[in-house]
Amino acid sequence: MNFAKTLAAAALVLALPSAFAQWRTLNVPLVTQEHSQWCWAGSSKAVLNYYSRTPSQCQIVNWAFGINYACGSSIFDWNSYANRPNNMYGTSGSVQNILSAWGVPNTAINNYLSWNSVVNDINANRPFVIRYGWTNGGGHIMVGRGYETYNGTNYIYIMNPWPGEGQTYRTYASAVSAYDHNWTHTQRMNVSP
């Protein structure tokens, strides 16, 4: 009888963590943006690398803006036309078009993803691109790469290309909206790798 009680107690203890935690992350590589306005290029490169495409950030920038001088051995000019923000979709050279041009079809959403969509996309092995709109103007582009629910709180894992940020996470609620930002746009991948 003691053995049965011990076995039942052990099974209960082992089952407890799974009752409180659900998580999954994708192996989206960390890509640090190479210039101040290239969060979109770094995030595009991270998604493309996840799908086994290997362009450099400067190749992405050259393609997006129809230029030929973002790459090279010369010192980068911070005031260069190559160092500028980009759109998520709706314009030639946008993040949507970049991903599609390198063989990763995707769909633009003019909003944040619901929690269920985050979980469904990650479970289908599809990262998504996030755009934050800063409350003081401007924006920032990152990659959603995972989720976790722990003790009733939902978290989202993010690849942030800004130098020093890297692979990070935050609560889903604070990813959607916080004092300094709102999650305004999303690119959802239409295929798994």
The CATH number of residue 150's host domain is: 3.90.70.10
Any domain includes 59 = yes
Any domain includes 158 = yes
Question: What is the number of structural domains in the chain?
Answer: 1
Structural domain containing residue 173: 29-189
Any domain includes 115 = yes
| Section 89-101 average pLDDT | 97
Owner of token pair 């640090």:
32
pLDDT at 19 over 60: no
| Section 102-110 average pLDDT | 98
Any domain includes 98 = yes
pLDDT of residue 73: 58
Using 50, 70 and 90 to split pLDDT, how confident is the model at 1? low
Model pTM?
0.88
Maximum pairwise Cα distance, the chain = 77
Give per-residue pLDDT as tens, 109-159. 999 999 999 999 999 999 999 999 999 999 999 999 999 999 999 999 999
Using 50, 70 and 90 to split pLDDT, how confident is the model at 21? confident
Rounded to whole angstroms, how far apart are CA atoms 167 and 25?
Answer: 11
Any domain includes 22 = no
- Written as one letter, the residue type at 89 is Y
pLDDT at 174 over 50: yes
Nearest partner of 98 among 162, 132, 48, 30, judged by Cα: 48
| 114 burial type by CB count under 10 A (0-12 exposed, 13-18 middle, 19+ buried) | exposed
Give the DSSP letter string of 39-82.
Answer: HHHHHHHHHHHHTT----HHHHHHHHHT-S-SSSSSPP-TTSTT
How many CB atoms are closer than 10 A to CB 98?
A: 26
| Section 16-33 average pLDDT | 83
Any domain includes 48 = yes
Any domain includes 7 = no
Nearest partner of 22 among 142, 152, 168, judged by Cα: 152
Compute the residue count for the chain: 193
Question: For residues 35 and 15, which has the higher predicted lDDT (pLDDT)?
Answer: 35
Rounded to whole angstroms, how far apart are CA atoms 115 and 21?
Answer: 15
Asked if residues 84 and 67 have their Cβ atoms less than 8 Å apart, the reply is no
Q: Using DSSP, how many helices (H) and how many strands (E) does the chain show?
A: 6, 8
Helix, strand or coil, per DSSP, at residue 23? strand
Any domain includes 102 = yes
| Mean pLDDT of the chain, nearest integer | 91
- Written as one letter, the residue type at 23 is W
Nearest partner of 131 among 108, 100, 115, judged by Cα: 108
